[in-house]
A and B are shown apart, each in its own frame.
Chain A
């Protein structure tokens, strides 16, 4: 290991560039938070690191583009993974031509359906957590994810993305319809049940 270059400070983790053997890699290091008590801090850091590494590996098996994992350190909360030299969807989505944007969103929907088919819930599907690299949309940050077969969980998962698109890409909020279009195409179960669930979740919110 060589010196670490922090390229991004997220809310719960630092993302550093490092080398592992001869590869340029990313280290995601979950940081201890001084505001929460040790019990909660330890529990969240170790369970999220473990769950994330597991889910990334499983997502890969279902054909979803994700970084390759090289190493996991549960005690320190570090995942060492492939460096994806691409761009965040958040940074490109607004600037794309309409047709490209809609195609990209359809692809995103297809990928989500692929991991949902295997009961993988991402937990934080936002356009900051998708990287366009090698012409594929890679999903990162499964830290809030879980394995869950319920329609409710899949609905909540998509609802997070819907809100992210509404808040960050408000001019193009119709994008979400294209995500659903791709999702319907690939989901094995009846996607309309999940879509109905999203509407239920919206109504459950305050003042809807």
Chain B
């Protein structure tokens, strides 16, 4: 089965095509365009306009890049949520139009679950992981339990990516700020005390952000502030992930989301995994960030497990939580 997936939850619009290959996911193409605001954060309407003007070309391009014809595609999937309303509606509209044009079924999928499934689908031996999903808006520790992907821990305020981006904006960096902060942090040496806030398996970042902004106002060395932010937030993320692994008694850990491409975060989670005799997985960068291939792959899993959707029911859900999805494709 071949599926074309359309992702459009926030700043990225993506079209990806994947093929079911003996239960594993083969990515045939995966194209992404990222909306970059001139200043400030994402403006939902501006982002949606960006997506609307790019999606048609991305779809055509992804089919061409896969060396396929539109008639080869068996299923169209799209990101049903969670995300920004205008962006979700743009992606869903494109999916509906495509589904009607090529006369193939449509299916809407949960964006967060797609981040987990793409790891299981593309990485050998990644079977039953705890996912640390870190992106701009999302920070969740997710694992499969009792028929659903359950959120064992999550941010109580802002996503880790949001925390990094907000600090980055304060000090005049362009979006996305994560990679620039990572570079600055690599030259940091002195740790500056920051609050470390964990509540059970939940985590909070806003206090760290405020404290870091104070250091910036006090003219502390920028490299040291970035270093301290990374060391503190990533240690806390690694700790809650380990807590979830201990709690669920699972011995695989998977990273996902844009912040997962940070090398320091990868190193910390890898070390934690190896210390507890667990296996560590991280998908390639294009499959970590928001992308169409993961949406396509989850579409195939859901469709093959018997789930069907009509155009009439293909509405979006801005608040589509991870644990609302009935996971029919796993035992």
With A9-B276, A160-B202, A206-B154 in contact, is A35–B146 under 8 Å at CB? no
B128 to chain A, nearest CB (A): 15
Q: Which residue of A lies closest to B321 (CB)?
A: A207
A167 touches B82 (CB 8 A): no
Q: How many residues of A contact B (CB 8 A)?
A: 36
Q: Which residue of A lies closest to B246 (CB)?
A: A11
B199 touches A123 (CB 8 A): yes
Which residues 252-268 of B have a CB within 8 angstroms of A?
A: 267-268
Q: How far, in whole Å, are A94 and B134 apart by their CA atoms in the complex?
A: 32
Against A, the Cβ 8 Å flags (1 = close, 0 = not) of B31-66 are 000000000000000000000000000000000000
Whether B102 is near chain A, meaning CB under 8 Å from some CB there, is no
With a cutoff of 8 Å between Cβ atoms, the chain B residues found around residue A204 in the complex are 156-157
Against A, the Cβ 8 Å flags (1 = close, 0 = not) of B232-259 are 1001001100110111000000000000
Whether B28 is near chain A, meaning CB under 8 Å from some CB there, is no
Contact of A170 (CB < 8 Å), options: B81, B148, B202, B243: B148
Whether B137 is near chain A, meaning CB under 8 Å from some CB there, is yes
Contact of A207 (CB < 8 Å), options: B157, B242, B319: B319
Contact of B239 (CB < 8 Å), options: A11, A123, A128: A11
Against B, the Cβ 8 Å flags (1 = close, 0 = not) of A162-197 are 011011101100000000000000000000000000
With A11-B243, A33-B275, A40-B235 in contact, is A208–B319 under 8 Å at CB? yes
Whether A2 is near chain B, meaning CB under 8 Å from some CB there, is no
A168 touches B145 (CB 8 A): yes
Whether B329 is near chain A, meaning CB under 8 Å from some CB there, is no
Interface residues on B, range: 35 or more
Q: How far, in whole Å, are A39 and B232 apart by their CA atoms in the complex?
A: 10
With A40-B191, A201-B156 in contact, is A35–B235 under 8 Å at CB? yes
Q: Which residue of A lies closest to B140 (CB)?
A: A206
B152 touches A144 (CB 8 A): no
B151 touches A167 (CB 8 A): yes
Whether B70 is near chain A, meaning CB under 8 Å from some CB there, is no
B200 touches A125 (CB 8 A): yes
Q: How far, in whole Å, are A167 and B322 apart by their CA atoms in the complex?
A: 12
Given contacts A12-B242, A37-B235, list 6 more A-B pairs with CB under 8 A. Answer: A36-B231, A36-B235, A163-B152, A166-B150, A206-B82, A207-B319
- Enumerate 19 A-B pairs (CB-CB under 8 Å) in ascending A order: A9-B246, A12-B239, A35-B268, A35-B269, A36-B235, A36-B268, A40-B196, A123-B200, A124-B200, A128-B247, A144-B198, A160-B200, A164-B200, A167-B145, A167-B323, A171-B146, A204-B156, A207-B82, A208-B321
Chain B residues with a Cβ under 8 A of chain A:
81-82, 137-138, 140, 145-146, 148, 150-152, 154-157, 159, 191, 196, 198-202, 231-232, 235, 238-239, 242-243, 245-247, 267-269, 271-272, 275-276, 318-321, 323
Chain A residues with a Cβ under 8 A of chain B:
9-12, 33-37, 39-40, 43-44, 123-126, 128, 144, 156-157, 159-160, 163-164, 166-168, 170-171, 201, 204-208
Closest 6 CB pairs of A and B: A160-B200, A207-B319, A36-B235, A35-B268, A35-B271, A11-B243
